[in-house]
């Protein structure tokens, strides 16, 4: 094998190693930061008050989901207000 072929083979091995390391680093970052939009969303959060005639199972810290993704949580549950006719 000539020196040129040896150098080319070595260079290809080094480039291949960098590609494998970069791919592993990318997959690690995707795994680590997959919930980043949710964390960033907490900085722009707001509260909504909703009245339901029936909300069985709703209690504090119950997750609120939309299309299978958690979009919030229940902060407080209180009994309905009763209005009197006067």
Question: Backbone dihedral region of 51: left (phi > 0), alpha (psi from -120 to 50 degrees) or beta?
Answer: beta
What phi, psi does 84 have (nearest 5°)?
-105, 140
**Residue-wise pLDDT tens digits, 3-47:** 889 999 999 999 999 999 999 999 999 888 877 666 555 566 677
Structure tokens that stand for 61 in this block: 């810290």
Asked whether the whole model's pTM tops 0.75, one would answer no
Tens digit of each residue's pLDDT (9 = 90 or more) over 40-69: 555 666 778 888 778 788 888 888 888 988
Pair of tokens at residue 45? 């959060």
More confident residue, 9 or 84: 9
Q: What mean pLDDT do residues 66-86 have? A: 80
């Amino acid at each position: 094998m000539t020196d040129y072929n040896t150098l080319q083979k070595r260079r290809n091995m080094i480039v291949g190693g960098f590609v494998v390391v970069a791919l592993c680093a990318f997959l690690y970052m995707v795994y680590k930061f997959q919930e980043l939009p949710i964390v960033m969303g907490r900085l722009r959060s707001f509260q909504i008050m909703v009245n339901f005639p029936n909300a069985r199972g709703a209690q504090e810290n119950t997750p609120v989901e939309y299309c299978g993704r958690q979009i919030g949580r229940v902060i407080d549950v209180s009994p309905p207000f009763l209005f009197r006719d006067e």
